[in-house]
């Protein structure tokens, strides 16, 4: 009964309640007891957004070596502010991945930071040799732990794009002297879009292939590379339609606009915005055979182009998009209606996450 009640509370309250008694401390902090999983399961019904302010503070004389201070606010799906959040890193952040089981990844040129917006824990993963060609975060339920996957361009293939990308996996468990990157035997078959958003669904990380750098694919409509973290195997998935490029310029995107990979309702979805006239949403029903089903098509011709950005999440029957302005756009699939919500700064700097107590490190922001 106590666990059921406490699992409905926000993380901020639970961090204070750890001090009530030893039994509560053990229940809240021990992931093996199942409380953290129960809490996260309920948190998924109330996702949150990290909204990044458009500027940051540059502090070259920071004593601890943290030169960049990024300010965020946490908001709910209706745009209401919950709390401010500050993150300090040593390099400019180039990409922030959507949350995975409560954690988000912040990528710089040379390293990956793992951050829990709820507990304020932050860790910078140790650097590894080679240029980062892509990365992703996943969660392995059998091990009750996160997996960070990094793709590197092999040194001997910097001038040859025919080589596979090297793959390494980061484990937070002490092995052979401490946490480290572990090489995976099989390499990634294609270059992936380096700083585009991968998606995680069904214990698999999905990246878009960088088609602009591949004029010869194994299959003409190969579009996605997947990595199943349980067996550490790569696979390629074709585009939902039998698309063939007519010219070299069409290799990068079959819709000549935006194509997004996103996890919705526990599955991988592909979202295509075509010439600001419609949004097509596809669901991957059979990854092994590259089978897709059309989830819906949304007519956006009546919206201003800057109103429709990336799809963020689903709330009931509503699909929530960010924008290139100060707006969130809500589209109701059943009623075919839309509404807008004004935000304090640009919605383009938006990252979704769910509250979680999970974190493998002890460093606080």
- 70 CB contacts (<8 Å, ≥6 apart)? 52, 53, 56, 86, 87, 88, 89, 93
Residue 140 has what pLDDT? 87
Task: Give the CATH H-level superfamily of domain 44-353.
Answer: Kelch-type beta propeller (2.120.10.80)
In the Cβ-directed half-sphere of 351, how many Cα atoms lie within 13 Å?
A: 25
Please give the pLDDT value at position 130: 62
Question: pLDDT value at position 35?
Answer: 85
- What does the pLDDT read at residue 100? 92
Q: In this structure, what are the phi and psi dihedrals at residue 127, rounded to the nearest 5 degrees?
A: -70, 155
Cα–Cα distance between 2 and 344 in angstroms, integer? 38
Report which DSSP code applies to 93: -
What pLDDT was estimated at residue 53?
Answer: 81
How do the domains of the chain map onto residue ranges?
Answer: 1-43, 44-353
Reduced to 3 states, what is the DSSP secondary structure of residue 332?
strand
One digit per residue, the tens of pLDDT, for the chain of length 365 reads 788 888 888 898 888 888 888 888 888 887 767 888 888 888 888 999 999 887 655 555 455 566 788 899 999 999 999 999 988 888 888 889 989 999 999 988 778 899 999 999 998 887 765 677 889 999 988 877 889 999 988 766 544 455 678 899 987 755 545 567 888 988 899 989 877 789 999 999 999 998 877 767 888 889 999 999 999 999 999 999 865 555 444 444 444 568 899 999 889 999 988 766 888 999 999 999 999 999 989 888 877 777 788 889 888 889 999 988 899 999 998 888 889 999 988 888 899 999 998 876 544 44
* Alpha helix ranges (H) inside 163-216: none
The pair of structure tokens assigned to 118 is 């709820």
Global pTM value: 0.88
């Amino acid at each position: 009964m106590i666990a059921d009640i406490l699992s409905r509370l926000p993380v901020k309250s639970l961090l204070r309640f750890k001090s009530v008694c030893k039994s509560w401390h053990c229940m809240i902090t021990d992931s093996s007891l199942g409380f953290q999983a129960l809490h996260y399961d309920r948190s998924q019904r109330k996702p949150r957004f990290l909204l990044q302010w458009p500027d940051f503070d540059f502090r070259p004389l920071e004593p601890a070596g943290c030169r960049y201070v990024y300010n965020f606010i946490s908001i709910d799906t209706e745009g209401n502010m919950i709390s401010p959040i500050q993150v300090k890193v040593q390099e400019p952040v180039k990409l922030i991945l959507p949350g995975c089981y409560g954690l988000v990844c912040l990528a710089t040129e040379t390293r990956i930071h793992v951050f829990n917006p709820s507990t304020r824990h932050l860790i910078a993963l140790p650097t590894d040799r080679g240029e980062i060609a892509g990365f992703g975060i996943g969660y392995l339920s059998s091990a009750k732990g996160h997996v960070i996957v990094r793709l590197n361009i092999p040194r001997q293939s910097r001038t040859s794009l025919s080589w596979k990308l090297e793959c390494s996996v980061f484990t937070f468990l002490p092995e052979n002297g401490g946490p480290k990157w572990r090489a995976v035997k099989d390499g990634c078959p294609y270059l992936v879009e380096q700083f585009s958003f991968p998606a995680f669904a069904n214990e698999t990380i999905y990246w878009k292939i960088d088609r602009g750098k591949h004029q010869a694919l194994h299959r003409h409509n190969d579009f996605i590379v997947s990595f199943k973290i349980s067996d550490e195997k790569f696979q390629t998935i074709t585009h939902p339609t039998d698309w063939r490029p007519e010219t070299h310029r069409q290799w990068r995107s079959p819709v000549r606009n935006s194509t997004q990979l996103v996890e919705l309702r526990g599955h991988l979805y592909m979202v295509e915005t075509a010439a600001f006239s419609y949004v097509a949403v596809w669901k991957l029903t059979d990854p092994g055979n590259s089978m897709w089903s059309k989830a819906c098509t949304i007519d956006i011709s009546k919206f201003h182009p800057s109103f429709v950005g990336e799809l963020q999440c689903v709330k009931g029957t509503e699909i929530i998009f960010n924008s290139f302005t100060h707006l969130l756009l809500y589209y109701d699939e059943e009623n075919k209606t839309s509404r807008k919500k004004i935000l304090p700064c640009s919605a383009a700097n938006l990252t979704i996450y769910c509250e979680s107590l999970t974190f493998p490190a002890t460093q606080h922001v």
